[in-house]
Structure 1
């Protein structure tokens, strides 16, 4: 850690998912230590507060929301509070292997690729299956396959969307990365600005990655680092509230970027 604070700060939004939060904080501390990592906790009007985790990392900031905010708004509160060279934005439903050094390896990766503005690691489900964090922008065929049960009709669209041809342990460029784990370079954030709050939920990560690429930075996956995601996929059911929010965000994405989003990150590392 430098004399001015940690090089990376991990930002986490807490709304009350204690059964996820406790193993996340414990595994983060065990895998990367507590001296070289800073923590920014957003208490999003939770009922029980973040007190149990505020002493785990010496460099800890706690942001208390006066009212419950949306995901993009909370991410922006983390970005505004951070002073580190790198900001890692994470969901609460994540955990690390004790010996993974995931965050440290991500810092090393960002240092090794100075033209990378935003990156993620290899993300796996708790059962060991790969979660495909590298994505390409969605097409009409992708939407039909994922939302309308047409996987058998458009299998290539799904394979292309999930970058299935890529080496899981390798270093690759992609159009966007899953918002559950995003490491953002400070210079990149200062250039492209905050998350677009108009995306109430979903596509805020896709939009940020698109803007990062548009500004000339690379969006990448470091397969040599890994963590685990207890993926919820609240929008999987087409009749759910989350599915409606997903559709609304997708329509906003189209109105902002059009159907041809510009798949600009196909080059190999």
Structure 2
């Protein structure tokens, strides 16, 4: 009896040494209860050499590198890395994470309990360099929550307008949640295929929100398991392009609303996102005396406005 099998999928885009550290952490996590089918690293046209000679980071382990000539986005690359797997479980793991002996074996022991037979997706405690637990589980977005987020009300009045991430909870206990973060997202492979994998229309961001929503709609549980942990730096590959990160996050927000809530909700969230949020963000940058932040805000929203004309027909068809 070898236990369940696992494929790890990591999408890389200019992650630098973070990717090598992630791959290098894998051997210490392979401690009983499961077998590793392989780790697949999908490189989205990195230009920093981060995807080179990865076999040296974990000698002897089955690591496969897939190189894309262009950046296909996170969702598409995840699907690419998962394709053809016969493993029982898929672990989508960001390159700015590191595993330990406390990352995988405890999670598979938890899943082996018959009472957890309906767990379809699982996340673990994500910790920073100092060992502090990150608030990484989230609520499924609603139009009202997204409008409040655009206006900054979730930060100013979190008691009245709960933020996306469950910051009021210390993540020290195991519980069912709406969403676990895609930095460490363990999913049943058969379920992943049954729900169609990641929706590739989300280039990046909201892809994990969407997948966890589909898992729950299919009748399975999404669980934050506090008995296992992994290191997560956070923002490791996107800190260098904050304006671009803002653009993709806002665009995916509108795509999510269009897909799940329809034209009227899209109009409300779109108005708040496009007209009110830039003013709120610029005011915040001014109060903090961060001209660099203001420049990134302008860059992100300028790109969103430029993208909008060709995006509108697709947004209006999202519910199909």
TM-score band, normalised by shorter chain? 0.7 to 0.9
Match of 1:247 among 247, 250, 253: 250
Moved more, 110-119 or 30-39: 30-39
Match of 1:53 in 2: 55
- Counterparts of 1:23 and 1:170, CA distance in 2: 28
Task: Determine if the alignment matches structure 1 residue 162 to structure 2 residue 160.
Answer: no
* Higher fraction of helix: 2
What is the deviation of 1:159?
A: 5.2
Report what 1:207 is aligned to.
210
1:5-84 equivalent positions in 2, closer than 5 A:
7-32=5-30, 36-37=35-36, 38-47=38-47, 48=49, 49-53=51-55, 56-84=59-87
Q: CA RMSD in A?
A: 3.0
1:224-243 residue CA offsets vs partner (Å, 9 max, x unmatched): 0001111118889xx82221
Q: Tell me if structure 2 keeps the 8 A contact 1:234–1:243.
A: no
Number of aligned residue pairs: give it. Answer: 255
SS at match of 2:200: coil
The residue that corresponds to 2:106 in the other structure is: 105
Q: Greater Rg, structure 1 or structure 2?
A: 2
1:95 corresponds to: 98
Gaps of 5+ in 1: 261-269
Q: State yes or no: 1:232 paired with 2:235.
A: yes
Q: Deviations over 1:44-98 (max 9, x none)?
A: 233433423366353333323243311111000012132210010011011134x
| CA distance in structure 2 between the partners assigned to 1:184 and 1:40 by the alignment | 15
The answer (yes or no) to whether the contact 2:14–2:46 under 8 Å persists in 1 is: yes
1:156-191 deviation per Cα after TM superposition (whole angstroms, max 9, x unaligned):
256564334546232211111111110010221132
**Separation in 2, partners of 1:226, 1:257:** 32
Find out whether 1:131 has 2:130 as its counterpart: no
The CA distance in 2 between the partners of 1:46 and 1:134, in whole Å, is: 29
Shift of 1:126: 1.9
CA contact (8 A) 1:14 1:50 kept: no
| Structure 1 position 144, deviation (Å) | 5.6
**Mapped contact 1:123–1:228 kept (Cα < 8 A):** yes
Q: If the length of structure 1 is used for normalisation, what is the TM-score?
A: 0.82
Contact 2:96/2:237 (8 A) holds in 1? no
Relative distance call for 1:120 and 1:65 in structure 2 (3 A) is same
CA–CA separation in structure 2 for the residues paired with 1:184 and 1:15: 22
1:129-161 CA-partner distances (Å, limit 9, x unpaired): 322222112345644665544455321256564
Name 2:118's counterpart in structure 1: 115
Q: Which runs of 5+ in 2 are unaligned?
A: 266-320
